[in-house]
Amino acid sequence: MSVLLTGAAGFIGMHVAEALLGRGEAVIGVDDLNPYYDVRLKQARLARLEGHPGFRFISADVSDRDAMLGLAEAEPGIDRIVHLAAQPGVRYSLVDPYVYVQANVMGHLVMLELARRLPRLGHLVYASSSSVYGGNRQLPFAETDRVDHPVSLYAATKRAGELISESYAHLFGLPQTGLRFFTVYGPWGRPDMAPWMFGAAILEGRPITLYDAGRLKRDFTFVEDIVAGVVGCLDHPAPAVEPRLLNIGNHRSVEVRRFVEVLEEALGQKAVVVDAPRPATDVEETFADITAIQALCGYAPRTPIEVGIPRFAEWFLSWRKGG
């Protein structure tokens, strides 16, 4: 039996793969290594996995029907799926909207079609996003809140995936859990994420832009806590016709300017800060109600930014030095 993990060369995907391999799972990793950001970073993540005897890699796009559906015959031992592959980034959806629909909607649909063809499938866990809550002002965000007013195309594609999953659970009895991730950060993160962009600017003496004087608040969640939640959910399959949607966050809402302060301390250098109005794609605050995932698998995030950011900074400095 094996776990199919999409987005295996991605930030969260690499960490999830390491956790699964560390407990003796066989993992089939899928990734298309697309050039949305520096492919060398994806290749370096993949290199950490490829030496493990339990890991096999398939280079493929999850929206490629022939490649993905062919796995049903080629890999009949797949009994669980962790589907993390997606086109990330809220603001980039204003630049290339088509790639979001292709990756996040068509890719999700293809994975569901694969899932219903697997004879031993026990559970499909997939990545959604806290962005589906849009401009919701009720805090903390709860899974029962309305999510029909997305403020970005990225959010709309993630909500579309949730709805398609619900229909497939009803039609085909697929056991599924969707996870609404809240602002994940940590070592091996992406260059388009705030820690990397802020960190690079600080070290290079370039200004960083903080919207609304840095008063926007985010539920920053360290990647190791996220991984514990993903694996915990994978081990607790949803009822076949009752798909779950769960928040997975830190249950702490922190001002972005405080995040920058801790990053400055970790890097030993002050930031040059420029203030700007909040873009239409950005919400004022995110804050996860994690009651449901705690009850399901004992999820208990343990990493405040005062611990997590220095760990990111240590890795980031090493990466910039070529290590």
CA distances from 62 to 48, 103, 277 (A): 22, 7, 37
Q: What is the 3-state secondary structure (H, E, C) of the chain?
A: CEEEEECCCCHHHHHHHHHHHHCCCCEEEEECCCCCCCHHHHHHHHHHHHCCCCEEEEECCCCCHHHHHCHHHHCCCEEEEEECCCCCCCHHHHCCHHHHHHHHHHHHHHHHHHHHHCCCCCEEEEEEEHHHHCCCCCCCECCCCCCCCCCCHHHHHHHHHHHHHHHHHHHHCCCEEEEEECCEECCCCCCCCHHHHHHHHHHHCCEEEEEHHHCCEECCEEHHHHHHHHHHHHCCCCCCCCCEEEEECCCCCEEHHHHHHHHHHHHCCCCEEEEECCCCCCCCECCECCHHHHHHHCCCCCCCHHHHHHHHHHHHHHHHCCC
Say if residue 1's pLDDT is above 70: yes
pLDDT digits (tens, 9 = 90+) for 52-79: 999 999 999 999 999 999 999 999 999 9
Bridge partners for 125 per DSSP = 82, 177
Say if residue 274's pLDDT is above 90: yes
Instruction: Summarize the confidence of residues 95-102 as an average pLDDT.
Output: 95
For residue 323, what pLDDT band results from cuts at 50, 70 and 90?
A: low
pLDDT value of residue 283: 81
Residue with tokens 């997590």: 308
The active-site residue out of 126, 133, 154, 185 is 154
Whole-structure pTM value: 0.96
Look up 154 and say whether it is catalytic: yes
CA distance 282 to 211: 9
Average model confidence (pLDDT) across the chain: 96
What CATH architecture does domain 2-320 belong to? 3-Layer(aba) Sandwich (3.40)
Instruction: Summarize the confidence of residues 273-301 as an average pLDDT.
Output: 93
Say if residue 280's pLDDT is above 90: no
pLDDT digits (tens, 9 = 90+) for 236-250: 999 999 999 999 999
pLDDT value of residue 137: 85
Instruction: Summarize the confidence of residues 41-56 as an average pLDDT.
Output: 96
Instruction: Summarize the confidence of residues 93-101 as an average pLDDT.
Output: 93
Instruction: Summarize the confidence of residues 264-293 as an average pLDDT.
Output: 93
pLDDT value of residue 94: 84
- Using CA of residue 136, residue 137, residue 143, residue 144, what is the dihedral sign? negative
Say if residue 2's pLDDT is above 70: yes
pLDDT value of residue 224: 98
Say if residue 90's pLDDT is above 90: no
Q: Where are the chain's structural domains?
A: 2-320
CA distances from 282 to 57, 152, 154, 201, 305 (A): 35, 8, 12, 21, 21
